[in-house]
Amino acid sequence: MNTELFGIIATYLLTLMIAIPLGKYLAKVFAGEKVWSDFLQPFESGIFKLSGINPKEEMNWKQHMKALLTINLVWLVYGFFVLIYQDKLPLNPDGNPGMSPDLSFNTIISFVVNCNLQHYSGESGLTYLTQHFVVMFLQFTSAATGIAAAVVFFKAFRDKTTVKLGNFWDFFVKSITRLLLPLSLVVALILAFNGTPTSYEAKDQFISVQGDTVNVSRGPAAGMIAIKHLGTNGGGWFGVNSAHPLENPNYLTNMVELIAQVIIPIAMVVAFGIFIRRRKLSWMIFGVMTIGMLLLLIPTISSELGGNPAIAKMGISQATGAMEGKEVRFGPAISAYWSTVTTIISTGSVNSMHDSTMPLTGMWQLLGMMINSFYGGCGVGVLNYFIYLIIAVFISGLMVGRTPEFLGHKVEAREVKIAALITLLSPFLILAGTAIANYVFTNHGTADWAVQPQNWLNNPRFHGFSEMLYEVTSSNANNGSGFEGLGDNNILWNVLTGFVLLLGRFLPIIGPIAIAGLLGAKKYIPESAGTLKTDTLTFGLMTFAVIIVLNALSYFPALALGPLAEYFTMLK
Amino acid sequence: MKKYILQSIRLTAVLMVLLCVIYPLIVAFAGVFSNGDGGGEKITKNEKVVGYALIGQSFTRPEYFWGRPSAVDYNAAGSGGSNKGASNPDYLKQVSGRIDTLLKYNPSITKADIPADLITASGSGLDPDISEQGAITQIKRIAAYRKLDEKLVAELVVKNTEGPLFGLFGPSKVNVLKLNLALDELKK
């Protein structure tokens, strides 16, 4: 048992040891200062030349958003058709079929927005071509999109007053060449030498010891598994993601995959403070995020190590904790850590089945995704946190009776309105989406779809409600994990979550960038005795309180109907 | 706008060559030097492949150590967990049935000896391992069916138990396929 807890502590400490220097490095890369990786410059110039891009052309925040949305639209259209016609394209050794239009719609949106919801199973739903040219490609580029957007936001606060926020393509390409690609190579090689397949060979067949004929799915997975974690994407090569023994062969690879998914979100927070020359602010943000994470993590570990009370009643001791849906080589402790990490930072990869975790664990997972900014996804974590921060600035301003300010810029009605709208968006999408799903489940149970609504749920009663709530919450957070018992490959879920994904991705990127762009263009007011300081402990507590109050008010009723109700029923 | 569209398409094409061709080919080339040449590590017996080191397989005969219950019957063409919730009554019935089966085939053990991993389905449905306790629980049965000395089987279990990573991190485990192959060797 102790070795399992040591595993968690070591993993987190190693994460920090890599993430903090990485943050310093990133701040330099995006500020254009000298770094060791500058030898890649000629190579990047080549990419820009071939693409007809001048990386020195300065953009304002609106031009940035136009560039971002345009390239994302190109990917949407391209991927939609490739997925439908994948059966007619090369690199399909297992002869897998093309996708139905609604599944393709859902899948392509899901990968463009960095969610990776996966209403298909990789072994039978994709070909090696689409695994690489659609899925893996977007895992790189959607992560780079998030990072580039965050850098635009950083830029707005670096100088006192500015509308010139650098070049989007420059940030985007450098996110790949200086960060994602080199790190992916390292992680992919570690995985390859621990047993993850890398070759393009088709399914294998063997006769087992007891004489059964067994087919084994494989394929060039190592490269994709590396970027799926580094880019906080989470979409696995195989259906069960990182619970699959080829996708996550042993405890070491499990640590590597866990570290890989957290380093960039933490590094971005560190980079923020260095980039805008206010390190104390970023330590305050990091502190709030870490405390938030611990508050979700500790009860999760405790409920998983405690085992399933219903099985305990049968007379089974469960010394190793709850094992349903978990793998022996990881054990419940690190699986609990994984489930917290993957839900707070929007990766959504899993190494155990969340549907089978204890009811309260399910609640902490849901809450992690609802808050979505304790570290948060690649780049977007900082942006999500910024919205809470603006609300906190506004409320504090009201409390002391002054015009609220952030980093020397007045926060006025327009900015607060944007922040308020973005804050309201999440509960609206999650609750309305869950309500629609419940309505269809109850009133149109026999609709003639690929999966009939009455057969959606893998579990009855409160847990069944949680399955639907989880699916919509995961889509809105662009997380991608699921209570996978839910039969989600049918027209309602594909279309519903498709729209939730799009809105839950792009509005929370555009909103903070717009606020930052507007603030950055305003006159700089030097700090005085009357300035509300945002890098103090008091203000950190204030932001934390805002996060808790907003989310508790929005989601308590839904959580009470799902995981809480299930928990209390089991106590009886 | 038109400028951005053209730039987007060209940049997408260039990055595709880098990320979808060059990068995976580098990894595939390096993978050739790994165990299993990048196609997964295989285990052979009498020069025939009898399984993959990392992929669990179905053992149902009483003279073999059993692995964990699997929601996909160890069909490695796919993968899957049961996704049953902790309070699901059908699921709990299933678990209770597994306990009864274990008690029937291993009459010497009591409920308290049964570890959770032997009565719950794994996440992947392909879990190659069981816990050390999961193997110990089955020693008496194996020894009886194979007419072997219990001590000999117990030694084999100890030999096939892999401790935590660097002796420090994570749980211990026993690879069921390797253990059973070693068991077959013992007979000769």
Q: What is the DSSP string of A370-417?
A: HH--SS-STTHHHHHHHHHHHHHHHHHHHHHTS--EETTEE--HHHHH
| One domain, residues B28 and B67 | no
Given an 8 Å threshold on Cβ–Cβ distance, is A485 in contact with B85? Answer: yes
What's residue B21's pLDDT? 94
Q: What is the pLDDT of residue A547?
A: 95
Residues B132 and B72 both lie in one domain: yes
CB contact under 8 A, B40 and A317: no
**Helix (H) / strand (E) containing A214:** strand A213-216
CA distance A213 to A128: 24
Residue contacts between A and B (CB atoms, under 8 Å): 376
Which residues on B lie below 8 Å from A176 (Cβ)?
A: 15, 18-19
Q: Does some domain include residue B38? A: no
List of chain A residues with pLDDT < 70: 1
Q: Are residues B100 and B144 in the same domain?
A: yes
Probe site for chain B from A201, A316, A564 (most B CB atoms < 10 A): A316
What is the reported pLDDT for A549?
Answer: 95
- Interface test mutation site (partner A, options B3, B9, B27, B63, max chain A beta carbons within 10 A): B27
pLDDT at B187: 64
pLDDT of residue B188: 55
**CA of B186 to nearest chain A CA: how many angstroms apart?**
15
Judging contacts by C-beta atoms under 8 Å, the chain B residues touching residue A304 are none
Tokens 């700090």 locate to A527
Interface test with chain A among B65, B70, B169, by most A beta carbons within 10 Å: B169
Task: Verify whether the Cβ–Cβ distance B83 to A132 is below 8 Å.
Answer: no
Using CB atoms, which residue from A220, A324, A350 is nearest to B28? A220
Q: Does B51 fall in a domain?
A: yes
pLDDT at B184 over 70: yes
Q: Which of B6, B17, B19 to mutate to test the interface with A (most CBs of A within 10 A)?
A: B19
How does pLDDT run across A246-305, given as a tens digit for each residue? Answer: 999 999 999 999 999 999 999 999 999 999 999 999 999 999 999 999 999 999 999 999
Report the predicted TM-score, pTM, of the whole model to 2 decimal places: 0.94
Structural domain includes residue B42: no
Q: Cβ separation of A245 and B126 shorter than 8 Å?
A: yes
Whether residue B54 and residue A195 make contact (CB cut-off 8 A), yes or no, is yes
Cross-chain Cβ contact B8/A74 below 8 Å: yes
Q: Do A216 and B52 touch (CB under 8 A)?
A: yes
Q: Are B50 and A208 within 8 A, CB to CB? A: yes
**Please, which residues have CB within 8 angstroms of residue A361's CB and are 6 or more apart in sequence?**
A300, A303, A304, A336, A339, A354
B83, A353: Cβ pair inside 8 Å?
yes
Which residues of B fall within a CB distance of 8 Å from A6?
A: 168-169
For residue A147, the SS3 value is: helix
Find, among A350, A383, A180, the residue nearest to A272 by Cα: A383
The DSSP bridge partners found for residue B175 are B129
Q: What is the pLDDT of residues A351-404, one digit of tens each?
A: 999 999 999 999 999 999 999 999 988 889 999 999 999 999 999 988 888 888
Q: What is the DSSP string of chain B?
A: -HHHHHHHHHHHHHHHIIIIIIHHHHHHHHHTTSTTTTS--EEEETTEEEEETTS-----STTS------TTTT-TTS-------TT-HHHHHHHHHHHHHHHHH-TT--GGG--GGGTS--SSS---EE-HHHHHTTHHHHHHHHT--HHHHHHHHHHTEE-SBTTTBS--EEEHHHHHHHHHHHH-
- How far is residue A562's CA from residue A233's CA, in Å, rounded to a whole number? 26
> Which residues span the domain enclosing B67?
47-187
Query: Is A332:A351 a contact under the CB 8 Å cutoff?
Result: no
The total of structural domains in chain B comes to 2
User: How far does the CA of residue B137 sit from the closest CA of chain A (Å)?
Assistant: 13
Nearest CA in chain A to B57: A208
Q: Is B97 on the interface with A (CB under 8 A)?
A: no
Residues B93, B166 within the same domain: yes
Q: d(Cα A66, Cα B53) in Å, to the nearest integer? A: 50
Asked whether the ipTM of the predicted complex exceeds the cut of 0.85, the reply is yes
**C-beta atoms of B111 and A315 within 8 A:** yes
pLDDT in tens, B136-173: 999 999 999 998 899 999 999 999 999 888 988 989 99
Mean pLDDT score, B84-103:
93
* Chain A contact present for B20, CB below 8 A: yes
The predicted structure's pLDDT at residue A1: 62
Interface test with B, best of A62, A179, A323 (most B CBs within 10 A): A323
Chain A residues touching B169 at Cβ < 8 A: 3-4, 6-7, 10, 251, 255
In chain A, domain spans: 2-571
The answer to the question of residue B161 being in a domain is yes
Q: What is the least distance, in Å, from the CA of B72 to any CA of chain A?
A: 11
Contact A222 B115 (CB under 8 A): no
Task: Report the phi/psi class of residue A326: left, alpha or beta, with left for phi > 0 and alpha for psi in -120 to 50.
Answer: beta
Closest approach of chain B CAs to the CA of A164, in angstroms? 18
Q: Give percent of chain B with pLDDT exceeding 90.
A: 72
Q: Determine which helix (DSSP H) or strand (DSSP E) holds A206, and give its type and residue range.
A: strand A204-207
